[in-house]
């Protein structure tokens, strides 16, 4: 029991406990930082944080899953820690909370979770949101889910150094059980769509070790912002494909392809929400396929093992379900919306072919959509 472990570790009982899920994105990739649309769901993998207040200003953490490493820092002197990278998510979160004017006390924190790390399922956002929820409860901050998401994103942008958008933190905070979320990343107003009980969210982890993710990610963002500037719009959200073609000569060839992905992905995401609502899985399939091709050819964020998995699963689902890479890219996972009666065939095909093709063993997670840490 986690409460027992907390007592054993810190010699007293915890007073707050948060659970923040990871996420999978069904469609709308690299659109969030372009003020566009995304369509994620929170999943049944989560980070948990148990906490008790201290009378001093020390944040004292034990990470159960990182060999029970201990890390501590003072709220009055928060520095980047080059030795324990995981601690910087916490350092960043407490730093932005104080910058935003919230009054904090020191605390003992026990951290544990089962979100696969480095797999593109938002283990870091779920950690940030779990910390924000526990700090909010313990220190009476009354944070809303949207506020928490914005603070988590700021921690990552300003302290950790990844120029991520808002999608991951927002769905980890405000996901809903049994539903996916269409999020307008400009207004931050979520709309929820039920996932049919006849379909499963099947996530396949390629186990491709993701290298250079952050620098490639930040490059993509810079390229998108360059394209928006060349097109004379605030963000790529404000451009259409017709305008893009018209002004093609103002962009480099690479900027053109990056912008083409983002603008067409926004269109696909809105169409996807409608197709899912009316149960049109032929259209769901076509849109997820087109999204993947666009990530592969125009945004250039897929790798051969991921493309192989997507083609393999597409061969089984045809137009009865959809499959594409999910998350930031350069490895990680693919996601399928898979009719329940095809899940076993997908598992068998991956077991039979993936290792022979790539030398890697894939993990398969059949997931449900869950509540975010600030839901309800």
- Contacts with ligand GAF by CB under 6 A lie at 25, 29-30, 32-33, 164-165, 167-168, 327-328
d(CA 307, CA 296): 8
d(CA 321, CA 339): 6
Q: At 179, list the tokens.
A: 């539903």
Nearer to ligand GAF, 73 or 217 (CB): 217
Nearer to ligand GAF, 52 or 323 (CB): 323
d(CA 370, CA 180): 9
Nearer to ligand GAF, 116 or 328 (CB): 328
d(CA 362, CA 313): 13
Q: Is 32 annotated as a binding residue?
A: yes
Q: Is 274 annotated as a binding residue?
A: no
Contact 259/236 with Cβ under 8 angstroms? yes
Q: Is 206 annotated as a binding residue?
A: no
Provide the minimum distance between the beta carbon of 77 and ligand GAF in the complex, in angstroms, as a whole number. 28
Provide the minimum distance between the beta carbon of 157 and ligand GAF in the complex, in angstroms, as a whole number. 10
Q: Is 103 annotated as a binding residue?
A: no
Contact 17/49 with Cβ under 8 angstroms? yes
181 φ, ψ (degrees, to nearest 5): -125, 125
In the sheet that holds 179-184, the strands lie side by side as 37-38, 179-184, 190-194
Provide the minimum distance between the beta carbon of 352 and ligand GAF in the complex, in angstroms, as a whole number. 30
Contact 2/110 with Cβ under 8 angstroms? yes
Provide the minimum distance between the beta carbon of 348 and ligand GAF in the complex, in angstroms, as a whole number. 30
d(CA 95, CA 151): 10
Nearer to ligand GAF, 132 or 346 (CB): 132
Is 219 in the active site? no
**307 burial type by CB count under 10 A (0-12 exposed, 13-18 middle, 19+ buried):** middle
Nearer to ligand GAF, 53 or 118 (CB): 118
Q: Is 26 annotated as a binding residue?
A: no
Nearer to ligand GAF, 34 or 71 (CB): 34
Nearer to ligand GAF, 25 or 176 (CB): 25
Provide the minimum distance between the beta carbon of 30 and ligand GAF in the complex, in angstroms, as a whole number. 5
Q: Could you tell me the CA-to-CA distances from 114 to 45, 97, 126, 208, 369 in Å, in that order?
A: 6, 26, 10, 18, 16
Q: Is 3 annotated as a binding residue?
A: no
d(CA 323, CA 305): 14
Q: Beta strands 199-205 and 322-326: pairing type? A: unpaired
Q: Beta strands 58-63 and 107-113: pairing type? A: parallel
Provide the minimum distance between the beta carbon of 109 and ligand GAF in the complex, in angstroms, as a whole number. 23
Q: Is 178 annotated as a binding residue?
A: no
d(CA 326, CA 365): 14
Q: Is 368 annotated as a binding residue?
A: no
Provide the minimum distance between the beta carbon of 148 and ligand GAF in the complex, in angstroms, as a whole number. 15
Cβ contacts of 110 within 8 Å, gap of 6 or more: 2, 5, 6, 9, 10, 14, 49, 50, 51, 61, 62, 64
Say which of 168, 238, 311, 319 is annotated catalytic. Answer: 168
Active site amino acids: 168
Binding-site sequence positions for substrate:
29-32, 217
Binding-site sequence positions:
29-32, 118-124, 156, 217
Binding-site sequence positions for Mg(2+):
124, 156
């Amino acid at each position: 029991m986690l409460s027992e472990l907390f007592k054993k570790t810190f010699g007293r009982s915890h007073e707050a406990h948060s659970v923040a899920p990871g996420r999978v994105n069904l469609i709308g990739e690299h659109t969030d930082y372009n003020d566009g649309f995304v369509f994620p769901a929170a999943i049944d993998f989560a980070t948990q944080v148990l906490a008790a207040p201290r009378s001093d200003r020390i944040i004292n953490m034990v990470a159960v899953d990182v060999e029970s490493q201990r890390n501590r820092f003072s709220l009055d002197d928060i520095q980047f820690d080059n030795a324990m990278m995981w601690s910087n998510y916490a350092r960043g979160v407490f730093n932005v909370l104080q910058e935003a004017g919230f009054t904090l006390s020191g605390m003992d924190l026990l951290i544990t979770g089962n979100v696969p790390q480095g797999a593109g399922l938002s283990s870091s956002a779920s950690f940030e949101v779990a910390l924000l929820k526990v700090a909010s409860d313990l220190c009476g901050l009354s944070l809303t889910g949207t506020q928490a998401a914005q603070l988590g994103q700021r921690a990552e942008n300003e302290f950790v150094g990844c120029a991520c958008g808002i999608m991951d933190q927002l769905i980890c905070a405000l996901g809903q059980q049994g539903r996916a979320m269409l999020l307008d990343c400009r207004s931050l107003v979520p709309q929820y769509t039920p996932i049919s009980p006849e379909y499963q969210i099947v996530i396949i982890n390629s186990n491709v070790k993701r290298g250079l993710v952050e620098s490639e990610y930040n490059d993509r963002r810079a390229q998108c912002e360059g394209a928006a500037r060349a097109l004379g719009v605030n963000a790529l959200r404000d451009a259409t494909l017709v305008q893009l073609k018209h002004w093609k000569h103002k962009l480099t060839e690479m900027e053109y392809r990056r912008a083409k992905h983002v603008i067409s992905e926004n269109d696909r995401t809105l169409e996807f929400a409608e197709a899912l609502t009316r149960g049109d899985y032929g259209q769901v399939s076509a849109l997820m396929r087109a999204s993947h091709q666009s990530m592969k050819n125009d945004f250039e964020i897929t790798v051969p093992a991921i493309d192989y998995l997507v083609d393999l699963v597409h061969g089984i689902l045809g137009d009865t379900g959809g499959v594409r890479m999910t998350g930031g890219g350069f490895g990680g996972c693919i996601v399928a919306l898979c009719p329940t009666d095809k899940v076993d065939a997908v598992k068998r095909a991956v077991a039979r072919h993936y290792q022979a093709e790539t030398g890697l063993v894939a993990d398969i997670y059949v997931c449900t959509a869950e509540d975010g840490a600030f839901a309800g």
